[in-house]
Amino acid sequence: MIFDVSAREGSARTGAFHTAHGDVLTPAFMPVGTRGTVKTLDGEDLLDLDAQMVLSNTYHLMLRPGSDVVRELGGLHRFMNWRGPILTDSGGYQVFSLDAKVREEGVTFRSTYDGSRVELTPERAVAVQEDLGSDVAVALDVLVGLPANREVVEAAMRRTLRWAERVMHARQREDQAVFGIIQGGTDPSLRAESAVKTAELDFDGYAVGGLSVGESDSERDRAIEVVVGELPEDRVRYTMGLGDTEGMLHAVARGIDLFDCVLPTRLARHGKVLTPVGDYSIRRAEHARSHAPLDPSCGCSTCASYSRGYLRHLFLTNEPTGLRLLTLHNLTYTLRLMGSIRLAILEGRFQAFMASTLDRRVSGDSGESLA
């Protein structure tokens, strides 16, 4: 996997990285298809949305249906009928949320499906992702919720480094890139050390992990800034679990290339609408008789065809169609934002674009639609 930086403006950069299933223009956002599907959508929907890459979850797929089943059915691309690139995360976040027992060998936890005892080691995480056949596999890490004392954060960071070495020895597939994960909480010195030592292992790309777990926005931005300063310029930089407009803009400004988050799709399933002038709930009574689209500046298939009044009705009557239609809109908004960021960097106006976008989100001024 190669990352080509084609333009820069300050720390912001745009380029592409190349995979067996196509090039990914960056900065890019990956819709989350945890169990091999982006909830309520299919592969054709994602193509229509111009999604470049999707994320699937190692933990869930190794348990249901099993990575061996996916392999026998032709690998994850054929299994989910998605022709573009796929990144599989390591499952570390899900293990963290299950209160797993962490040892030097790996982690032990109970399956959320049947309660059975499951062991996951750095080596098994690699083997599972190789079975799945994703374009990018991510190393298993130790995640710590924040705030936490320095001793706990440092121990997790150092164990993640030891596991990263094991991952690099375990990889077998030459056609699958592997990303290392940077840990260290909000401590700048730990973050810097983690970045330097992980980069020494020569991964194909680097994920900034351990964020969106309780830190403030300023702490998150500082952690990203420290990490990016220590990573090689020709490799992908990926912040895990970040997907809000403000957070992604600040991360791009610091040199991040790739994002994933359940936020756009999860909010859609709860009736939350993303727009350039702020977000709102379609469930509110003021929309009951509205002929207006979700966002007059959008033009997605949902906005082109359905009124707020109709969509509110779908949500209040628990019709699954409503979930799908809002998901299409929210992903259109998020993916279009990424496209606008790329264009702004190429044209040398990213800082101005960022400032105007953030201002519109606060002021509610519709201004011009996203390019």
User: Which residues are tagged catalytic?
Assistant: 89, 260
Burial letters for 88-97: b for 16+ Cβ neighbours within 10 Å, e otherwise? bbbbbbbbbe
| 3 and 25 Cβ atoms separated by less than 8 Å | no
